[in-house]
Structure 1
Amino acid sequence: MSKAYVFTRNGGPEVEALVDQDPPVPGPGELLVAVRAAGVNPVDWKLRRGYLRPGSAPKPFPVVLGSEAAGVVEAVGPGVEGFEAGDEVFGNPLTGGYAEHTLLPVAVTAHKPAGLPFADAAVLPVAAATAYDGVRQLGLAPGATLLVTGAGGGVGSAAVQLARHAGVHVVGVASAAKKEFVASLGAVHVESGPGLADRVRAAAPGGIDAVFDLAGGDTLREAATLLADPAALISAGDKALVAELGGSPVERARTAAVLDAVADLFVAGALRTHITRTYPLAAAGDALRLVEEGHALGKTVIEVTA
């Protein structure tokens, strides 16, 4: 049997449970992976509440939580090439990452470099990969100025680092409590809340060339007023509103090549994951509460004992 942290129906924390279940069996193009670490993301609790990704269908209950994981391959499915038992890998699981075993699709799985710890690898597939896709989508030239809303979160902090690595100036919007953290990433911190646009103008008198939004709502609306061209507005936080404002959602590649790229950036020292809290699988609910209640700074990880 294999332990997994699941939700048994849509709802709040009361529908979560740690259960024993049979390890999944890898099908064509799939890897059975013994999980060493799993990242915790807002999408996890949103899925538990009933959110469905566009084009996806509901999964049968119980559903294992977790959208990113790193571990060791135990078995490969039919037709799999380039992976074998014993390989250290990371990616987006098909059967949830909060578990001792999960299935990873080879299309969105990468080999873990030796210089990339399991915990750090486990938080790259969602946050860092989203940030990588967004920064690449904007295609800003060195010297341009980018506004990142939600700069203190997982995606935001990665976006700041990747933009700075590309020679882009960054203004990072986050709460006052995250000022020191945002500044440590190389961004100019601007406090979130009403009056945001005026504070950004004061912090960046030369203007803003693009906005990478991770907050949505009123923050996105106000940030959009800073741009002369709405096409320079992208959002991973509010896809409907960004389209209404003339911008675009972040275009996710979801490929192994992107995972390879962010892993290489980590090993090169250009990207740090800023893991601030780790929990054992038995305390997965506590880890998810931290993220769900909006108190997480940087990334939160569930570590599964080898």
Structure 2
Amino acid sequence: MRAATVSRFGGPDAVEITEHPVPMPGPGQVRIKVAAAALNPVDAAMRSGVFGGEERIGLGWDVAGTVDAVGPGVTWSADDRVIALATGHHTPLGTHADYVVLDADTLAPAPTTLDDTHAATLPLNTTTAAQALRLLALVPGQSLLVTGAGGGVGAHTVELAHQQGLEVTGLASADYKEFLISRGADHFLARGQALAPAGFDGVLDAAGLGSDALAAVRDGGAYAGLWPGQEPRSERGIRVGALSVQADGALLTELSRLADQGVLLARVAQTYPLHAAVEAHARLAEGGLRGRIVLIP
């Protein structure tokens, strides 16, 4: 089978399409025939060496497809439509492949209202948003600032925070205002506007503003970043954390249900065939995408 991998770090041209044996599921595992797999900024970070590694690394964290084979002790059945999140920075094979083997408890039923291409955009970004909100531990009625609110994680955080009863302010480029208000933001700030000091109970800093975002949190509030090790130092009694996302099939099942209910909107910017992964990475590097690039085997 084919898989997108890197054996050296660099730009988009570091991505290779390599041949591998079709993996076999072990006890408690499932093999998925990949129908679609989103391309995320974390894949570009892996490709460029942010997370290091000395062996060939497989790319891809998101997957939508059908169950193809199961190992002992698994209740999933062949041809079940599923989505899943494959976490890990140094795995030999990721989801940008014809097949992927994952632990059965990381899978969730695919949303019935979405095709595989759109469903493939959900696992990483929605799981990250949901786990970041858990990390912040705000309660209904409290105020949340989401920086980078136009991006995949940011927009889903706005949607989930609204659904949880938080008062949400989205910070993004000015042309995202109408979109974010439609997705549940109570207030909008255009990128470049001054942030009111100590004005929010919590912030999800999807844009990586660091100390500037921290300054917008009230004394004793909460800050969550998305890149462990890059979060600002705590001050004024603010809880500071950075999320290391974890695959969670039960959580993803609930998020799939919310997608079917229209709470979560799947956004696809462009699709590329798997063999054009280099071109897909180049397009991601250009920026300006409204939604995810999705690779189709």
- Give the TM-score taking structure 1 as reference length: 0.84
Deviation of residue 136 (structure 1)?
2.9
Pick from 279, 283, 287 the counterpart of residue 294 of structure 1: 287
SS of residue paired to 2:177:
helix
Pick from 182, 185, 188 the counterpart of residue 184 of structure 1: 182
Deviation of residue 270 (structure 1)?
1.1
Matching residue of 1:60: 55
- Contact 1:233/1:242 (8 A) holds in 2: no
The 5 Å alignment of 1:108-119 reads 108-119=106-117
The 5 Å alignment of 1:115-154 reads 115-154=113-152
Matching residue of 2:171: 173
Deviation of residue 163 (structure 1)?
0.8
Pick from 222, 227, 247 the counterpart of residue 232 of structure 1: 222
Deviation of residue 239 (structure 1)?
4.0
Residues in 2 aligned to 1:229 and 1:121: alpha-carbon distance in whole angstroms: 39
Matching residue of 2:39: 40
Matching residue of 1:69: 63
- Contact 1:213/1:220 (8 A) holds in 2: yes
Residues in 1 aligned to 2:205 and 2:43: alpha-carbon distance in whole angstroms: 20
Letter paired with 2:222: A
Q: Deviations over 1:213-247 (max 9, x none)?
A: 1122xx22112112223541111145432455551
SS of residue paired to 2:217:
coil
Aligned residues: 288
Percent sequence identity is: 34
Name stretches of at least 5 consecutive residues in structure 1 with no aligned partner: none
- Contact 1:67/1:126 (8 A) holds in 2: yes
Residues in 2 aligned to 1:111 and 1:186: alpha-carbon distance in whole angstroms: 25
- Larger deviation: 119-128 or 137-146? 137-146
SS of residue paired to 1:148:
strand
- Contact 1:153/1:299 (8 A) holds in 2: no
Deviation of residue 59 (structure 1)?
6.7
Residues in 2 aligned to 1:300 and 1:152: alpha-carbon distance in whole angstroms: 15
- Contact 1:3/1:18 (8 A) holds in 2: yes
- Contact 1:231/1:248 (8 A) holds in 2: no
Which is helix-richer, 1 or 2? 1
- Contact 2:8/2:14 (8 A) holds in 1: yes
SS of residue paired to 2:295:
strand
Residues in 2 aligned to 1:167 and 1:148: alpha-carbon distance in whole angstroms: 15
Name stretches of at least 5 consecutive residues in structure 2 with no aligned partner: none
Residues in 2 aligned to 1:238 and 1:104: alpha-carbon distance in whole angstroms: 24
Residues in 2 aligned to 1:88 and 1:59: alpha-carbon distance in whole angstroms: 35
Q: Deviations over 1:181-237 (max 9, x none)?
A: 3333232331224x5314xx7xxxx93221111122xx2211211222354111114
Deviation of residue 177 (structure 1)?
4.0
- Larger deviation: 170-179 or 142-151? 170-179
Task: Let me know the Cα RMSD of the aligned residues.
Answer: 2.4
- Give the TM-score taking structure 2 as reference length: 0.87
Letter paired with 1:67: W
Q: Point out 4+ residue stretches in structure 1 off by more than 4 angstroms.
A: 243-246
Residues in 2 aligned to 1:263 and 1:123: alpha-carbon distance in whole angstroms: 11
Letter paired with 2:96: Y
